[in-house]
C-alpha cells in the first residue's frame, strides 16, 4: 500500500473540482483499508471512503485521509429455480456489474443501468430508478468498522433503507467502509415497465438476438444519456436534489395552482418531480457564473468550466430558495458535501 500526500482529487470527483486530500491511498484489499485507518488514527485525521466520486461535493481541500476503495471481484454465490445470489466487491463499477448480472441470467437491476458510481456506494444511497431500488434485491453487505478494523455484516433490516437513504447516512455515518455487497436477484425476468417512457422505448425496439433484459437495459441507457450529461464532458454529480415526498393535502393544494404538476404515488404519500419544480421555477438552463442547471434536465447541476464548490453550493441554495418561494416545497440535496 502506497500513501500519497497532498493528492489531487480533480479526476476523482465528477464535478472536476480542483481540490486535494491531505493523504490518499488506493485500497485493493480489506487489509489495505485496515492499514489506512491505522495510519489515519496515528495522524489524527478523519477517514473518507471514496468510490466513483459521483455523489459528493468536495467543498475545498480536505484535511483527511481519502481511501479509494478499489476492492474488485464478482461471483455467483448460489442459484436455484427462483433466485440467483451474487456478490461483488465495493470497487466494482455499478453499470458494469449490472450488465454482468444480466449476462449471468440474474435479473432485477436492468432498470438501474448506467447509474454512475461503484457497488459499494449503492447501498448508502439506496440507489433507484424507474420503479426499482437496490433494497428490492438486497441480501447483505460487509463493512469495515473504522474504529476497530473489524468486519461487520449488515442485513436488510440493519441497513434501514429508505428513499435515497440508509443507516450509512444516519447512525452509521462515517463509522464504516463498505467492502462487498451481496444481492438476491431473480432467475426469471419480471420486467418493471411502470414508467411510460421506458415502456414505450422497450416496445419500439426489435429484440433481435438479445434477451428482453438487455433491451430494457439499453433503453434505460439511451433515456439517461439523452437527458443527463456525461461528467467527462460536463462536470456534474447526477441528480442533485431528491424528489420531495409530500402528503396528499399538500399535493391537492399544489394541483389547484399547478394542474400539470408531476407526482407519483409513493408509500401512501406522493413524490414530486424535483426537475419539474426547478423547470417551472424558470431555472432550467439557468447559469450563475460557471455553475448552472443542465439545459436538458433541470435536476442536474453542472460545472461549465472553472466552477468551484462554492459556486455549485451557492447555486443549489438559490434553487432551493426559489422553489420554496414558488411552491412551498423544500428541496434536499442528494450528494454528500465534504
The residues that are catalytic are: 164, 239, 334
The single residue listed with the C-alpha cell 423547470 is 279
Question: Please, what's the b/e burial string for 100-126 (b: 16 or more CB within 10 A of its CB; e: otherwise)?
Answer: bbbeebbbbbbbbbbbbbbbbbbbbbb
The full length of the chain comes to: 338
User: CA 242, CA 59: separation in Å to the nearest integer?
Assistant: 20
**Nearest-angstrom CA–CA distance, 105 and 96:** 15
Cell of 109: 437491476
Query: Residue written as cell 439545459?
Result: 295
Q: Bridge partners of 155?
A: 140
The CA-CA-CA angle for residues 52, 164, 162, to 5°, reads 135
Kindly state the helix (H) or strand (E) to which residue 181 belongs, with its residue range: strand 176-186
Question: How many CB atoms neighbour CB 132 within 10 A?
Answer: 18
Which letter does DSSP use for residue 29 in this model? S
Strand 47-50 to strand 62-69: parallel, antiparallel, or no bridges (unpaired)? parallel
Continuous segment of H or E residues that includes residue 101: helix 94-103
The C-alpha angle with vertex 319 and arms to 57 and 259, in degrees rounded to 5, equals: 130
Residue showing cell 433503453: 219
How many angstroms separate the CA atoms of 212 and 191, rounded?
8
- Looking up cell 408509500 gives 267
Amino acid at each position: 500500500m502506497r500513501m500519497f500526500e497532498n493528492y489531487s482529487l480533480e479526476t476523482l470527483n465528477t464535478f472536476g473540482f480542483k481540490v486535494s486530500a491531505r493523504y490518499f491511498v488506493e485500497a485493493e484489499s480489506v487489509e489495505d483499508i485496515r492499514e489506512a485507518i491505522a495510519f489515519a488514527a496515528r495522524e489524527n485525521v478523519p477517514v473518507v471512503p471514496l468510490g466513483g466520486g459521483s455523489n459528493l461535493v468536495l467543498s475545498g481541500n480536505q484535511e483527511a485521509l481519502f481511501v479509494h476503495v478499489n476492492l474488485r471481484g464478482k461471483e455467483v454465490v448460489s442459484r436455484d429455480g427462483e433466485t440467483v445470489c451474487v456478490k461483488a466487491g465495493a470497487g466494482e463499477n455499478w453499470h458494469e456489474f449490472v450488465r454482468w448480472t444480466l449476462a449471468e441470467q440474474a435479473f432485477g437491476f436492468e432498470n438501474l443501468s448506467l447509474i454512475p458510481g461503484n457497488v459499494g456506494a449503492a447501498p448508502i444511497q439506496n440507489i433507484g430508478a424507474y420503479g426499482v431500488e437496490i433494497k428490492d434485491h438486497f441480501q447483505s453487505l460487509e463493512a469495515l468498522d473504522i474504529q476497530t478494523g473489524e468486519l461487520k455484516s449488515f442485513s436488510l433490516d440493519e441497513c434501514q433503507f429508505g428513499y435515497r437513504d440508509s443507516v450509512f447516512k444516519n447512525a452509521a455515518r462515517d463509522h464504516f467502509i463498505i467492502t462487498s455487497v451481496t444481492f438476491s436477484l431473480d432467475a426469471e425476468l419480471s420486467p418493471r415497465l411502470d414508467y411510460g417512457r421506458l415502456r414505450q422505448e422497450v416496445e419500439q425496439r426489435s429484440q433481435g438476438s438479445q434477451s428482453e433484459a438487455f433491451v430494457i437495459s439499453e433503453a434505460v441507457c439511451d433515456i439517461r444519456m439523452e437527458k443527463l450529461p456525461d461528467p467527462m464532458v460536463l462536470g456534474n454529480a447526477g441528480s442533485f436534489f431528491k424528489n420531495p415526498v409530500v402528503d396528499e393535502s399538500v399535493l391537492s393544494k399544489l394541483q389547484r395552482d399547478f394542474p400539470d404538476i408531476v407526482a407519483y404515488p409513493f408509500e401512501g404519500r406522493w413524490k414530486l418531480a424535483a426537475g419539474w419544480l426547478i423547470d417551472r421555477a424558470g431555472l432550467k438552463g439557468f447559469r450563475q457564473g460557471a455553475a448552472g442547471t443542465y439545459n436538458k434536465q433541470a435536476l442536474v447541476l453542472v460545472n461549465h468550466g472553472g466552477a468551484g464548490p462554492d459556486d455549485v453550493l451557492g447555486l443549489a441554495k438559490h434553487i432551493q430558495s426559489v422553489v420554496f418561494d414558488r411552491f412551498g416545497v423544500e428541496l434536499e440535496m442528494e450528494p454528500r458535501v465534504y
